[in-house]
Amino acid sequence: MKIHQIRNATIIITYNNKRFLIDPWLMPKDFMPGFEGAMNSKVRQPRVDLPKDFDINHLPLDAIILTHFHPDHFDEFAVKALDKNIPFYVQNEIDLNIIKNFGFNDVRIISENGTDFERITLYKTQCQHGRREVVKPMCEQIGMPYDAMGIVFKSDKEKTLYVAGDTIWCDEVITAIDKFNPEIIVINACGATVLVGEGERLIMDIEDVKAISNYAKNSIIIASHMDTVSHLTVTREDIKSLKLNNVVVPDDNEILEFDN
């Protein structure tokens, strides 16, 4: 297994010799404004460029996975660059129709009961993209979908991998860990925050990282979705300073490899 941290939540997973592109956000640095109603809204994003040697046009891929259709996970640059015939996995019918409307021809939904792909089984897991009772009504008010998914990768020839997606530490994450017992967990951990009440985190923050590290003591936890969006409140250096034995914080363009 290889996990190639590209930028933000964009990663490439090589699993059982198949390559999956996750959440392709490919726009250049400073292309879009910060999110209105969120922390640091005056800061343009992405805060950093893609790695210099990253060339999506010459990248061999077997499938694409979109955890949810938000503007820091998928964009018009991905639409233009990606092969429209590659299998493209999404969380539900809403995202399926959106991606089909962009011209992709083979769009599939990942099931919670398991979806087979080339001797790999993919499982959809549930998220709370911020506390559901607070953030979901806010999303509905501005016409942005709330739901996101995580994905579990299982194969007889690889360790079990859990990509938690855009979620806080919550019962849904605990359920996924208990059910699948993943050896490797990728978390989105920059503590992106919106200005609701005293501030609501949308994905994991420092306390969430501590919690999942403590709960999944036997798992290797990879901190992704770092140092890129305008509304971050946690940096790579913040997580590294915790010195948690089972937490890895890869740089952009770093490749992590794991034995079977």
Q: DSSP secondary structure string, 131-191?
A: -HHHHHHHHHHHT-----EEEEEE-TTS--EEE--S--SSHHHHHHHHHH--SEEEEE-S-
Residue 125, pLDDT score: 98
Between strands 220-224 and 63-65, the pairing is unpaired
DSSP 240: H
> 43 with 245: CB under 8 angstroms?
no
Residue 46: asked if its preceding bond is cis (omega within 30°), the reply is yes
Residue 89, pLDDT score: 98
What is the total count of domains within the chain? 1
Residue 142, pLDDT score: 87
Task: Provide the H-helix boundaries in the chain.
Answer: 76-81, 93-101, 132-142, 171-180, 206-215, 236-240
Structural domain that includes position 153: 2-257
Q: What is the mean pLDDT of residues 234-240?
A: 98
Residue 57, pLDDT score: 80
CATH of the domain at 75: 3.60.15.10
Residue 55, pLDDT score: 87
Give me the half-sphere count of Cα atoms (radius 13 Å) on the Cβ side of residue 100: 10
Residue 100, pLDDT score: 98
Binned at pLDDT 50, 70 and 90, residue 196 comes out as confident
Smallest CA-to-CA distance from 223 within 214, 236, 237, 241 is with 236
Residue 118, pLDDT score: 95
Please report, rounded to a whole number, the percentage of residues in the chain having pLDDT higher than 90.
92
pLDDT digits (tens, 9 = 90+) for 142-172: 888 999 999 999 999 999 999 999 999 999 9
Q: Pseudo-torsion of CA 120, 14, 239, 127, nearest 10°?
A: -30
pLDDT digits (tens, 9 = 90+) for 53-97: 898 888 899 999 999 999 999 999 999 999 999 999 999 999 999
Task: Classify each residue of 20-47 as buried b or exposed e, where b means 16 or more C-beta atoms within 10 Å of its C-beta.
Answer: bbbbbbbbeeeeeebbeebbbeebebbb
Mean pLDDT of all residues in the chain?
Answer: 96
- Which burial class, exposed, middle or buried, applies to 212 when counting CB atoms under 10 A from its CB (0-12, 13-18, 19+)? buried
Residue 6, pLDDT score: 98
Residue 197, pLDDT score: 79
Residue 58, pLDDT score: 81
